[in-house]
Amino acid sequence: MSISLSAHRHRTWLPASRAPRVLMGLTIALIIALMWGAASGALGISPWALMSGNASELSVQVWWQLRLPRLLLGVAVGAMLAGSGAAMQGLFRNPLADPTLLGLASGAGLFVALWIVLFQGSAMGSLYGQFAAGFLGALSVCVIVFGLAKRQGGSSAAVMTLLLAGLAINTLAGAGGGVLAFIANDEQLRQLSLWGMGTLTNALWRTTAIALVLISIALWMLLRSASELDLLQLGESTAHAAGLDASRLKRRVVVATSLGVGLCVALTGVIGFLGLLVPHCLRLWLGPSHRLLLPASMLGGALLLVVADTLARTLGAPAEIPVGLLTSLLGGPYFLYLLMRRSPSC
């Protein structure tokens, strides 16, 4: 079964003249979702009371110390996961590529889990070390997957090879995580369990501020690649003839994706399917142009994660559902739907 971006060439896409309206609509929806998220939770907080200065001191403290950094982290992580998914789909010319399916999130998760078990509580177990572990894990997996794709030379077997490689890496990472859970102490085991399901509960200002800076750099690197990713869809030989340095483009996307996804996993655990669901749906609607698709995916990913996290905080209040479970419950059936709706000849 061969799946490529060319499978969508006969679709009718949104006219380019309406692109600013799409981005504006997604921005407005995100602002509304942020207002809803700010007001919702175990403690109801009125945004109007906050803006007018009539909110209680407890409400102000909860808003400033807990909800605001959590909302900002949700925006950053959602934008990074969806944006990296869109970039990887363009880089591999495969609309089913995403950091979770290809094992980047699992690789980053394994390295972070290893760091927690070996160094948590020691002088080396700093937050920056956890960030570095996530980045190195995602980068290692990305190099392996990219090397396998390069060996296939763009053949029809490349897609299946990528998916099988992702499955193998996810399986190995799961086995490695199981071994680490077996040797971990009770405190480490609880931390690994909660972190592995994907959650934004660790959003504090000291972590969120670092995440915003580094993720912004990674997103900027991806946005810089939009025009080149469009050119790459014509084929590497054609793009090279047009002056594209494909190797430099691949390195930039790989480094940006590894940095961003590794950081996201280090902070929030594995939040699955966000990088597949958002860019794939938007690609079907907006078309393959990455100059529109990348920023739209970033806004859409931020919107989806903020909404999912608000639901996670409110559906079982005062208890909290791990947001990674909600995104997996949404993305898993959608991925099965994508596979079932494709004919054997596609």
Tens-digit pLDDT profile for residues 139-195: 888 888 777 767 765 544 556 677 778 788 888 888 988 888 888 888 888 878 877
| Domain spans, the chain | 57-341
Q: What is the pLDDT along the chain (346 residues), one digit of tens a residue?
A: 444 444 444 455 655 567 788 899 999 999 999 999 888 877 777 777 676 667 777 777 888 888 889 999 999 999 999 999 999 888 888 777 788 777 888 888 899 888 888 877 655 556 677 888 888 888 888 888 777 767 765 544 556 677 778 788 888 888 988 888 888 888 888 878 877 788 888 788 888 888 899 999 999 999 999 989 988 888 777 777 777 887 788 888 888 888 888 889 888 888 888 888 899 888 888 888 899 999 999 999 999 999 999 998 888 777 788 888 888 888 778 777 777 776 444 4
Contact between 79 and 302 under an 8 Å Cβ cutoff? The reply is yes
Which among 276, 337, 278, 331 is positioned nearest to 302, based on CA atoms? 278
Classify domain 57-341 by CATH number: 1.10.3470.10
Using a cut of 0.75, tell me whether the model's pTM lies above it. Answer: yes
